[in-house]
Structure 1
Amino acid sequence: MNGLSELIDSLEVKFFKVNQKVTTLKKENQELQQKLALSEESQRLQKEQIADLKNQIDKLKMVNSLLGSEENKRETKLKINSLIREIDYCITQLSD
């Protein structure tokens, strides 16, 4: 009977330790999930900022080429021609 009592005591100690470990891991998991959420939000904001900056670069290139910059004239002409084609297509659709 003494051996059974020691076995039960040993199991209780092990159960207590496992329970503490589960609690600790749950808390750590929650903290990691919060950090992940913050990182994902930060990444989303950075992607938006990158997209905005790329848009600004494109606009600046367009302005530079309109102001006479030789570097981007070809791109500007292509963009203007594309816009003209779109306008012509819209006019054609409206007149039908």
Structure 2
Amino acid sequence: MSNIEDIVDSLENKISKVLHKLELLKLANSKLSKELEASKQEIQNQKKLNAQWEEKYEALKVANTILGSDDNKRETKLKINALIREIDYCIAQLSD
């Protein structure tokens, strides 16, 4: 009879250890999930910041060309033409 009790005690002990390990893994998983979400948010913020800097860079290139820089004249002309077409479209929409 003692042998069965020892086996049951051993099983209970092992089950207790497994349950404890499970709890630790759940906590670790939860922590990692929070870190993942924070990292995703940081990536989104960095993408927005990058896009803002790219817009500023493009505006600076256009401004430099307008001021007389020969580097980006073609791009600036295309951008100005696109803006003129957009304005013409808006005027046409308002006329209707």
TM-score, normalised by the number of residues in structure 2: 0.90
CA deviation map 1:35-56 (0-9, x unaligned): 1122112111111110111011
2:21 match: 21
1:59 match: 59
- Runs (4+) off by over 4 Å: none
1:71 match: 71
What are structure 2's unaligned runs of at least 5 residues?
Answer: none
CA deviation map 1:19-63 (0-9, x unaligned): 110111011112111211221121111111101110110110010
TM-score, normalised by the number of residues in structure 1: 0.90
Q: Which amino acid in the other structure matches residue 69 of structure 2?
A: S
Superposition RMSD in Å: 1.3
Q: Which amino acid in the other structure matches residue 64 of structure 2?
A: N
CA apart distance, 1:92 = 2.5
**Equivalents in 2 of 1:31, 1:54: separation in Å?**
34
Question: Structure 1 vs Structure 2: percent identity of aligned residues?
Answer: 49
